[in-house]
Amino acid sequence: MSAPAARPGAERADGARAGAGLVVESATSHVEVLVCAADGAALAHEREEVALEHTRRLAPLAARALAKARVEPRRLAWVAADLGPGSFTGVRVGLATAEAFALAAGARLTGASSLAALAHSSGARRALVVPLVPGGRRDLYAGFFRADAHGAVTLLAAPRVGPPAALLEAVAEASALLPAGWGVRFVGPGAARERDALERAWPGATEPPWRFEGLSALDLAAAVRLGLGRAAGLPGPDDAPQPLYVRSAQAEERVRRAALAGEDVRLRDMAAADLPRVAQIERRCFGDPWPESFFRGELAHPLAWARVAEHRGEPAGYIVAWLDAGGGHIGNLAVTPESRRHGLARLMLEELLERARRLGTPSVTLEVRVANDAAQALYRAHGFRLAGLRRGYYRDDGEDALVMEWRGARSGREPETAGPGRRPSPLTPGPD
Query: In a 10 Å sphere around its CB, with 0-12 CB exposed, 13-18 middle and 19+ buried, how is residue 83 labelled?
Result: buried
Query: Which residue is catalytic, options 367, 394, 399, 405?
Result: 367
**Cα-flanking dihedrals φ and ψ of residue 228, to 5°?**
-90, -15
Beta bridge mates, 184: 128
Residue 343, CA distances (Å) to 89, 110, 138, 242 in order: 28, 31, 30, 22
Q: Residue 56: phi, psi to the nearest 5? A: -85, -35
318 is catalytic: no
**Which residues touch 415 (CB under 8 Å, ≥6 apart)?**
327, 362, 363, 365, 387, 405, 407
If you write DSSP's letter for every residue of 316-366 in order, what string do you get? EEEEEEEEETTEEEEEEEEE-GGGTTSSHHHHHHHHHHHHHHHHT--EEEE
Strands (E), 148-282: 153-162, 183-187, 265-269
Long-range contacts of 176-179 (CB under 8 A, 24+ apart): 176/386, 177/386, 177/388, 177/389, 177/402, 178/128, 178/146, 178/389, 179/126
Active-site hit among 141, 245, 318, 379: 379
Q: Which of 193, 188, 184, 182 is nearest to 209 (CA)?
A: 188
Q: Residue 284: which of 324, 348, 338 has the closest Cα?
A: 338
Active site residue 393: no
Among all residues, which ones are annotated catalytic?
367, 379
